[in-house]
Amino acid sequence: MIDAPGSLLTAFLVGLLGGVHCLGMCGGIVVTLTAGLSGRARSGALTSLPYQLGYNAGRLVGYVFAGILMGGFGAVLTQSLSLQHGQRILYGVSGVVMVLLGLYLADWWRGLGRLEALGSRLWRHIEPLGRRLLPVTSPAHAVALGFAWAWLPCGLVYSVLIWALAAGSAAQGGLLMLSFGLGTLPNLLGIGLLAGAVARVADWTWVRRAAGLLVIGFGLQALWRLTGS
């Protein structure tokens, strides 16, 4: 179960401060998509902005859709077990995932990257569909391609999806993924000085470790609550 709005804020911070990983994973995709636009569309920041917004809007829709599916599945799991027992299991999953995300943000453990291998099979089926959407000819077309992009294997995304499984409902799962997706926007939009500033701040060791400790603290708090319930 998620403890809104604290969990939503935590998911946003994970997206924001995991931006260095996002730039490494998706930065090349952004460059490739921009280079594939017509000469007029990529002639300047303002002319390419509708396409960049389209890519990222589609990506956020994909994240929310996946979060709804996972949150709904978690709710069904809870109902199939005794309610109290199911809630305890999902709350425990939520706490463990937050601890692992905190370790990842602080750069103390990179094991979440192994989740990317699990999604590679799904991506093999989606990637050819994404290729058919190239080249991008309109902002609406960019939204469709962004939706396909959302399913790119990414350990950070998959970790938050597991967290969404423990959200308790489809709506909460969708909100959790939306918060995470919004956190990734400053880095992936890549417009103006703001994005560069966020990327630089997110790369400061003390910022990453402070954020990691904060997220670990939320996870440990959730696990501690289980011992008293």
Residue span of the structural domain in which 123 resides: 6-228
Domain annotation covers residue 67: yes
Residue with tokens 């990529």: 42
Domain annotation covers residue 200: yes
Report the chain's mean pLDDT, rounded to a whole number: 75
Furthest-apart CA atoms within the chain: distance in Å: 62
Domain annotation covers residue 12: yes
pTM of the model: 0.77
The alpha carbons of the chain give a radius of gyration, in whole angstroms, of 18
Closest by CA to 154, choosing from 104, 127, 118, 200, is 118
- Predicted pLDDT at 60: 95
Domain annotation covers residue 50: yes
- Predicted pLDDT at 47: 67
Total domains in the chain come to: 1
Domain annotation covers residue 41: yes
- Predicted pLDDT at 109: 78
**CA distance linking residue 103 with residue 199, whole number of Å:** 19
- Predicted pLDDT at 68: 97
Q: Compute CA 199 distance to the chain's CA centroid, rounded to the nearest angstrom.
A: 16
Taking the chain, what is the end-to-end CA distance rounded to the nearest angstrom? 14
Most confident of 25-29, 60-64, 111-115, 200-204: 60-64
Domain annotation covers residue 123: yes
**CA distance linking residue 156 with residue 180, whole number of Å:** 10
Does the structure show a pLDDT above 90 at 70? yes
Q: Compute CA 182 distance to the chain's CA centroid, rounded to the nearest angstrom.
A: 8
Are the C-beta atoms of residues 58 and 147 closer than 8 Å to each other? yes
Domain annotation covers residue 1: no
- Predicted pLDDT at 193: 39
- Predicted pLDDT at 155: 76
Average pLDDT over residues 48-56: 82
Name the pLDDT band for 118 (thresholds 50, 70, 90): low
